[in-house]
Structure 1
Amino acid sequence: IVGRPNVGKSSIFNWLARRRLAIVDDMAGVTRDRMTYLMEADGRYFELVDTGGMGIEDPDNLTGQIEDQISTGIETADVILFVVDTRAGLTPHDQEVAKRLRYIDKPIICVANKSDSENLDPQADEFYRLGRGKLLVVSTRADRNRPELLSMIVERLPPPLDDQPSSEPVMKVTIVGRRNVGKSTFVNSLANAERMIVSEVPGTTRDSVDVRFQLDGKEFIAIDTPGLRKNKSVRTNIDFYGTHRAKRGIRRADVVLLFFDASQRISKVDKQLCSYVAENYKPCVFVVNKWDLYYKQMPTDRWVTYLRDTFQTMWHVPIAFVTGQTGKNVKALLNHAQMLFKQSLSRVSTGQLNRLIKAAIEATPPPLHNHRRPKIFYATQVGIQPPTIVLVCNDPKAFSPTYRRYLLGVLRDQLSFGEVPIKLYLKRRASSDKRSDLEDPDTTPAEDVLEEVNDFDELERFPPDDDESDLSDMQFEA
């Protein structure tokens, strides 16, 4: 999707995808990186690519890099949507864009956007003078001619490949962190291409951007997110949507890579990001970037101690030291992230869980509550991503937070998913449930418990919600 600034390219992108993916704003030059979205229409899969405005003068001196991103998008495209503005009419800037497309030997569709009613359609006829592909009038606001545009795109796609799609799920890795910690440089190292605009200017990335790449024959999706900073006021629409997309990138992730700059201290923003990752139960790796420049000032063991002391509830999170610019340790980091992804998909039998919980209780019985010993009848896993375990007991409130942490630690130490978050529930046994207790370790009540898992009057989660923090006062740096 190409065109001059402010013709509605990002609106077209969101409209076709039926998602609010790209930031849409009246200010020219909001889009910098290429945004992508894999979608399906008429039985064909294809990737939409949104680009920045051609000829934009960027205030942060990134014009050259934005133009490089546009050129790369055009070179790798199979079909080009040349977007123009019906209400504004034909401009010299449109003619300059048409000149750039003159020698592009690819199907081009001239999309006359902002044709909100049929009364405006005759105004679009002047775009025939550009001589660049089939003309179609559309309106994202009035939802005009979306099926027609999708059909035209599909008709112009190359023949489908015979390759069978992989049966393995594609892992989504979200890269988060403060501004200017090297997230986009790291993504470029993964993709082996200048996929993201990289600059010393903080806040260069404005959208969360999906980048597809392959490693050792396996496909991955890296989600680069805007850098966040502490800011109690939302100054612009771009600030608001940038923060929203960073948080959504975390929620979409299979694994989160939380980046730290080796030259800087851990900040409140880092702590809030970590809390948001934990709140969403996402597998995570602490990534110390720019390690080659600062390892002499702060050796590896000191950084590990620093991170462990700062994030004392996240001892299960692995730590990696990388140099995104040179690619050092990047492949090893991705392999470890893939291992975390597999752990989050792991299942354990009810029999194994019951034997494990029984041994833990025998080793350290729960403290008395109201002069009575709390009792766990059985345990079962009811979900994955994250692994979700329910302990059916006589009284959830009888188990102290300390004892719950003990049980969670036992599960983490003994099971195959020790490096990922575990969601632990305590549920009161229903009066109709006549199953025996842990003496019968092979009971498999997962389906029955799953049906009741939304009964929050009788169900308590650990860790509790009270300790969760949000990012409402954090804003991305534009």
Structure 2
Amino acid sequence: MKPVVAVVGRPNVGKSTLVNRIAQTSDAIVHESRGVTRDRSYHDAEWNGREFTLVDTGGIESYKSEDVFSAPIRDQALAAAEEACAILFVVDGTTGITEEDETVARILKRVRKPVFLLVNKLDNPDREDERLWEFYSLGVGDPLPVSALHGHGTGDLLDEVVALFPDEDELENDTPDDGALSIAIIGRPNAGKSSLFNKMIGSDRSIVSDVAGTTRDAIDTVVEHAGKLYRMVDTAGIRKKSTVYENIEYYSMVRGLRAIDRADVALLVIDSSTGMTEQDQKVANLAIERGCALVILLNKWDLLTSDNEREHVMESVARRLTLAPWANVLRISALTGRSIDKIWALADSAAAARATRVSTSALNRLLTDMREFGHTVVDGKRRLRMHYVTQTGTKPPTFTFFVNHTDLVSDSYRRYIENRMREAFGFKGTPIRLRFRKKEQRDDKGDK
């Protein structure tokens, strides 16, 4: 499970630019206006061999009301503190301290998490000391000069941040190896996750033990069903209301991320009364990116009274689930208990597919078949040739293809190969990974 680092601060101080710099990406929106980043963004990052999740808490903005800053800033800063190993508090060195900065600082002083006060936009190292002194008055530690735009100061910062992470062995060994299948119930707030959890571990189940999870104050519940152990991995709102802020979208997403990292199978709960939304799609994609098996549960199906309503929901799933047409979809009602018992078998099936190992001979028979009867990619005089394939990992199944030109492998050709592999070997309920490596061809004339 990856440590979480949260980036907080008022709008337009350079949070997204800093995120792009640390994550070495450009997918965080950067614009010179307030409040551009309205959705929380989650990025995989790495420094000195340590991987972590970087969370941009964009959207901390003031509202023109008498209660100027309190609600949005308090909620975001406290939610960030709940899950982070470290908090990067970003301020603007060119404008000085604002009332919004002071509000965030007051909140962060009450949380027991390491806070790094980053004075951003100090692009001239020779004059940075002139702008640092006033930020000591925020009372959250020594201000550190950085330039997210040019990268100045970020390396030293990351050295200190990574040093705070738990040992990797400690993270790996946090979940007991008792043979239980880890299941995370994920989804948007109010989709029915708590009701489903309670129904699945109801009085007809044998609760074996409560095991402390990696998330502070989170509890994983181990239950027995049909003679098999399952660890229900804690996600937002399932176990207890640890804070009054737990139902806000940011907190749910971070808790969901951490649960997915510890789970074998993710149960994505969707509110059938609204259909599959863009936010549901984002949560599904997070599970897929992290290699988690996936089962889609259409909860509150009993509330749909017409064929038109039911068709609308199924159409929304087909439209939003283009990255995972392989996921099983089950119509349930956590309230009435409809189809709840079927979930266990689907979770087992998805987990088995995620652990599938295919022999090298079977893979290369399929490869021979694709070479003879399938299409390939041609670019001028260059033709893509796939020489060999082998499985290089499980959970999820990962396959490495040795080809002559890796740059000829287009997204559409990747989809074609994945579809052929799923036709041949199944993989129902799990993502698979396809890697392509260049196979060097020996030339008798030029190779010595």
| TM-score, reference length from structure 1 | 0.49
* Whole-Å separation in 1 of the counterparts to 2:138 and 2:422: 66
SS at match of 2:257: strand
Q: Which residue is 1:297 aligned to? A: 306
CA contact (8 A) 1:82 1:108 kept: yes
Amino acid at match of 2:23: A
SS at match of 1:87: coil
Q: Which residue is 1:252 aligned to? A: 289
Does structure 1 residue 153 correspond to structure 2 residue 161?
yes
CA contact (8 A) 1:173 1:256 kept: no
Aligned length: 332
Assess, with a 3 A threshold, how the Cα gap between structure 1 residues 172 and 108 changes in structure 2: closer, same or farther: same
Q: Which residue is 2:140 aligned to? A: 132
CA contact (8 A) 1:347 1:387 kept: no
* Match of residue 57, structure 2, among 51, 74, 91: 51
Task: Using the TM superposition, give the Cα deviation of residue 112 of structure 1 relative to its aligned residue in structure 2, in angstroms.
Answer: 0.4
Does structure 1 residue 81 correspond to structure 2 residue 91?
no
SS at match of 2:170: coil
Which consecutive aligned stretches of 4+ in structure 1 deviate over 6 angstroms post-superposition? 170-175, 219-224, 245-248, 299-311, 324-332, 350-356, 384-390, 408-411, 419-423
Q: What aligned pairs does 1:407-426 form with structure 2 within 5 A after superposition?
A: 412=423, 415=425, 417=427
Q: Which residue is 2:256 aligned to? A: 211
Q: What aligned pairs does 1:155-174 form with structure 2 within 5 A after superposition?
A: 155=163, 157=164, 160=167, 163=170, 165=172
Q: Which residue is 1:319 aligned to? A: 329
Q: Which residue is 1:191 aligned to? A: 235
Q: What aligned pairs does 1:11-26 form with structure 2 within 5 A after superposition?
A: 11-20=17-26, 22-26=28-32
* Whole-Å separation in 2 of the counterparts to 1:381 and 1:146: 40
Task: Using the TM superposition, give the Cα deviation of residue 134 of structure 1 relative to its aligned residue in structure 2, in angstroms.
Answer: 1.6
* Match of residue 350, structure 2, among 337, 340, 364: 340
Amino acid at match of 1:135: P
CA contact (8 A) 1:188 1:195 kept: no
Q: What aligned pairs does 1:255-270 form with structure 2 within 5 A after superposition?
A: none
* Whole-Å separation in 1 of the counterparts to 2:400 and 2:50: 40
| TM-score, reference length from structure 2 | 0.52
Task: Using the TM superposition, give the Cα deviation of residue 136 of structure 1 relative to its aligned residue in structure 2, in angstroms.
Answer: 0.9
Q: Which residue is 2:77 aligned to? A: 70
* Match of residue 112, structure 1, among 108, 119, 143: 119
For structure 2, list consecutive stretches of 5 or more residues without a partner in the other structure: 1-6, 195-233, 238-244, 270-275, 367-372, 374-387, 402-415, 441-448
Q: What aligned pairs does 1:452-467 form with structure 2 within 5 A after superposition?
A: none
SS at match of 1:132: coil
Does structure 1 residue 90 correspond to structure 2 residue 134?
no
Assess, with a 3 A threshold, how the Cα gap between structure 1 residues 58 and 222 changes in structure 2: closer, same or farther: farther
Assess, with a 3 A threshold, how the Cα gap between structure 1 residues 325 and 53 changes in structure 2: closer, same or farther: farther
CA contact (8 A) 2:363 2:390 kept: no
Q: Which residue is 1:3 aligned to? A: 9
Deviates more, 1:347-356 or 1:314-323: 347-356
SS at match of 2:303: helix
Task: Using the TM superposition, give the Cα deviation of residue 340 of structure 1 relative to its aligned residue in structure 2, in angstroms.
Answer: 3.3
Task: Using the TM superposition, give the Cα deviation of residue 16 of structure 1 relative to its aligned residue in structure 2, in angstroms.
Answer: 1.8
* Whole-Å separation in 2 of the counterparts to 1:297 and 1:11: 48
Task: Using the TM superposition, give the Cα deviation of residue 113 of structure 1 relative to its aligned residue in structure 2, in angstroms.
Answer: 0.6
Assess, with a 3 A threshold, how the Cα gap between structure 1 residues 22 and 286 changes in structure 2: closer, same or farther: same
Assess, with a 3 A threshold, how the Cα gap between structure 1 residues 331 and 93 changes in structure 2: closer, same or farther: farther
Task: Using the TM superposition, give the Cα deviation of residue 138 of structure 1 relative to its aligned residue in structure 2, in angstroms.
Answer: 0.5
Assess, with a 3 A threshold, how the Cα gap between structure 1 residues 71 and 326 changes in structure 2: closer, same or farther: farther
Amino acid at match of 1:212: L
- CA offsets, 1:88-120, max 9 Å, x none? 122232223223333344433210011122255
Higher relative contact order (CA 8 A, sep 6+): 1
For structure 1, list consecutive stretches of 5 or more residues without a partner in the other structure: 176-181, 199-204, 230-242, 258-284, 357-365, 367-379, 391-404, 424-449, 453-478
* Whole-Å separation in 1 of the counterparts to 2:341 and 2:42: 23
- What CA RMSD, in Å, does the superposition of the two structures yield over aligned residues? 6.2
Does structure 1 residue 102 correspond to structure 2 residue 109?
yes
* Whole-Å separation in 2 of the counterparts to 1:309 and 1:41: 38
Assess, with a 3 A threshold, how the Cα gap between structure 1 residues 187 and 133 changes in structure 2: closer, same or farther: farther
* Whole-Å separation in 1 of the counterparts to 2:46 and 2:115: 20
SS at match of 1:163: helix
* Whole-Å separation in 2 of the counterparts to 1:254 and 1:103: 36
CA contact (8 A) 1:186 1:324 kept: no
Q: What aligned pairs does 1:424-439 form with structure 2 within 5 A after superposition?
A: none
Amino acid at match of 2:328: P
CA contact (8 A) 1:32 1:197 kept: no
* Whole-Å separation in 1 of the counterparts to 2:363 and 2:313: 32
- CA offsets, 1:366-419, max 9 Å, x none? 9xxxxxxxxxxxxx97558779899xxxxxxxxxxxxxx9xx99985x855466
Assess, with a 3 A threshold, how the Cα gap between structure 1 residues 54 and 388 changes in structure 2: closer, same or farther: closer
Does structure 1 residue 144 correspond to structure 2 residue 174?
no
Amino acid at match of 1:25: H
Structure showing greater radius of gyration is: 1
* Whole-Å separation in 1 of the counterparts to 2:123 and 2:111: 30
CA contact (8 A) 1:12 1:140 kept: yes
* Whole-Å separation in 2 of the counterparts to 1:422 and 1:39: 22
